[in-house]
Amino acid sequence: MSIKIPKTISAAVLYKTCSKLKVVNDLLLPELKKGQVLVKMFYSGLCHSQLMEINGERNQDHLIPHLLGHEGSGKVIKIGKGVKKVKENDRVVLSWIKSKGLETGGMKFQRKSGDLINAGPITTFSNYTIVSENRVVLMPKKITNKISVLYGCAIPTGSGTILNEIKLKKNSKVGIIGLGGVGMSALLMASVFKPKILLAIDIEENKLKLAKKFGATEIINPKQNNVENRVSKITNHNGLDFVIDAAGTTKTIELGFQIIKKFGGELIFASHPSDGKLISINPHDLICGKKINGTWGGNCNMDIDIQKIEKIFRKNKISLNSFVKKVYSLNDINKAVDDLKNRKVLRAIIKF
């Protein structure tokens, strides 16, 4: 039985930076090129990267108007020539993190009005999407379509940082700055290793309470406490072994560097400020053995690691339902953007 493919799709388009997204319903669906996959979307995530794009902080103004979204879940409707890793009707996770398969680069959609809309090798703010083969991976079989959207960005970036970038032990002292999707994902994976100190830092009390539920041994609200003094106290003036910054600001990266220990302490930032913004650190701390590094998607091998992470979470009975409590329609996507910007949700999820 052949699958009916629509001639037009609905999508959210960025026509102007620092403005609301425009939902259009007349985007013509082009024929697939070699290496492309047509996916009927179930859900899309919305994260800090899209906020930066909307605010013109990703140096992509020359691509406007363009589609957005880099994490989602869906079902394969059709595959282009050369595609081998997925087939029609496969449930898949869509991710900005490259995996095996063909890379087809960007493309253009056209509206019935004639407007040309740019799109990258992955976009997810639409009811159907065309992506490169290397931006889809098979969905873990034992998770729902809604939960699986988290495996496109938040879970591999956060949990992957813990699994692939550092070596946690039971006597480790680790801190997580910023309890959004990435930070909370890192905290959940860190809790599996039962470190001596698992510190959560955020300015939202509700997120700190959730972090305690997820296994944090200590919590700090920078609005209420001096973070450096508190860390010094709980580590007997030694500092933390590892800090994961998932807040993505120059201030939080600098803070993370301050609270790691000398001679072996490591800060890894899993999110980042706007391009061109600089951090200020004391170079003497580098001589004293402090390390600072960034991570690209948790250094994940997407074809392997999301299956591995899902098994770890299932074995340890870790639920991700708290990440997907708030679901929006495509027509309400600007409300989702505002809620995420104002830190009202852990992860904004769009349902199609």
Q: Do residues 241 and 174 touch, judged by C-beta distance below 8 A?
A: yes
Does residue 313 sit within a domain?
no
* % of residues, the chain, pLDDT over 90: 95
Q: Rounded to an integer, what distance in angstroms lies between the CA atom of residue 272 and that of residue 139? A: 28
Residue 152 confidence (pLDDT) = 98
**110 and 148 fall within a common domain:** yes
What is the band of 275 on the pLDDT scale with cuts at 50, 70, 90? confident
Whether the pLDDT of residue 216 is over 70: the answer is yes
What is the band of 223 on the pLDDT scale with cuts at 50, 70, 90? very high
Whether the pLDDT of residue 213 is over 60: the answer is yes
Q: What average pLDDT does this structure show over 171-179?
A: 98
For the CA atoms of 33, 302, 311, 165, what is the dihedral angle to 10 degrees? -170
Does residue 44 sit within a domain?
yes
Whether the pLDDT of residue 274 is over 90: the answer is no
Q: Nearest to residue 174, comparing CAs of 160, 189, 164?
A: 189
Residue 276 confidence (pLDDT) = 83
Residue 60 confidence (pLDDT) = 73
Whether the pLDDT of residue 4 is over 90: the answer is no
Round the average pLDDT of the chain to a whole number and report it: 96
CATH number at residue 289: 3.40.50.720
Global confidence as pTM: 0.95
Residue 267 confidence (pLDDT) = 98
Using one digit for the tens of pLDDT, what is the confidence trace for 5-34? 999 999 999 999 999 999 999 999 999 999
Residue 278 confidence (pLDDT) = 93
Cα distances from 252 to residues 85, 89, 138, 264, 304, in angstroms, run 39, 43, 35, 20, 31
The residue segments making up the domain with residue 46 are 8-152+320-351
Q: Rounded to an integer, what distance in angstroms lies between the CA atom of residue 166 and that of residue 344? A: 30
Residue 61 confidence (pLDDT) = 77
Q: What average pLDDT does this structure show over 135-150?
A: 97
**160 and 220 fall within a common domain:** yes
For the CA atoms of 300, 158, 73, 326, what is the dihedral angle to 10 degrees? 180
Does residue 254 sit within a domain?
yes
* Crossing angle of helices 302-315 and 181-192, rounded to 10°: 60
Amino acid (one-letter) located at 164: N
**136 and 193 fall within a common domain:** no
Using one digit for the tens of pLDDT, what is the confidence trace for 53-91? 999 988 777 899 999 999 999 999 999 999 999 999 999
Whether the pLDDT of residue 1 is over 60: the answer is no
Residue 2 confidence (pLDDT) = 63
CATH number at residue 79: 3.90.180.10
Number of domains in the chain: 2
Does residue 312 sit within a domain?
no
Angle value at C-alpha 8, between 88 and 54, nearest 5 degrees: 95
**14 and 96 fall within a common domain:** yes
Using one digit for the tens of pLDDT, what is the confidence trace for 229-254? 999 999 999 999 999 999 999 999 99
Q: What average pLDDT does this structure show over 147-152?
A: 98
**52 and 78 fall within a common domain:** yes
Q: What average pLDDT does this structure show over 183-205?
A: 98
Q: What average pLDDT does this structure show over 200-222?
A: 98
